[in-house]
Structure formats: structure tokens, C-alpha cells
Amino acid sequence: MRKKAAITMAFAIIVLTAGVMISRGKMPYKPYKDLKASDIVSATVYFLPPDKTVQITDVEELVSCLGEVTIYNEDSSYNDYCGQTVLFTLTMADGTQEEITAFNPFLIINGVGYKAKYEPCERLSRYANQLLSAG
């Protein structure tokens, strides 16, 4: 009987801990993990600086980078940072449009800022800047 009570108590603690973490926004989330290249009709990336837009012709690497991007809690403190803005505009097959700004350590999705995992966000920025160098 004690073993069953201990297991029930441990399970309850795990569920409560997960609930607190989710409510505080600490659980990692990959918003584009299921994105496929076929979902995107067209894509551009805008850079500031240098105030230049580049058309993305092959979206496979973009999809790969976006699939790894991990966000945490909503965070608007990106407004307090300085640096290069890399804004991806995706036109989706269903007619909708996504605006994704890589502003490490933040990702801004359709105007809402999120704290992001550093490495995948940095990879997205590097990918964009390679496009700028090539174009």
C-alpha cells in the first residue's frame, strides 16, 4: 500500500512541476518543427543594416534552420537590444504570410517576441547573412 501511495505522490509532483513550468513559459517549443519546403510558396529576407532584401530561391536550408529554432517564454525585451535585424517573410501555400525575425537571443514571430535558444537562432542568422554575401 505504501509503495502505491509513493508512486501516486511522485506522479502528482511531476505533473504539478510540469504545470508550473508550462505556466511560466519555460518549456521549450519548436514552432516550425513540422514545416516543409512545400508549405512555402515564396520567401524573402530583409536585413537592417544594410537595408537590403534578398529573394530566397531554395527554401530547403531555411526550412532546416527554422525546424531547429526553439523558443521559450514570450519576451518583449528585444526592444532594449541593438544589432542586425534579419526578417524572413514567408508566403505559405495556404495564402497566409509569416514574418520571422531572428534577433539573437530572440525570435519575433508575427510581431510577438520570444526568448530563443541561442545556437539555432544564431544558425538562422548566419544562414541569412550567407545569402546576403552571395547576393
Report the range of poorest mean pLDDT among 22-31, 44-53, 114-123.
22-31
Exposed/middle/buried for 25, CB within 10 Å: 0-12, 13-18, 19+?
middle
pLDDT over threshold 50, residue 24: no
Residue 32's pLDDT band (cuts 50, 70, 90): very high
pLDDT digits (tens, 9 = 90+) for 45-79: 999 999 999 999 999 999 999 999 999 999 988 87
Q: How many angstroms separate the CA atoms of 19 and 103, rounded?
A: 29
Domain extent listing, the chain = 1-26, 31-134
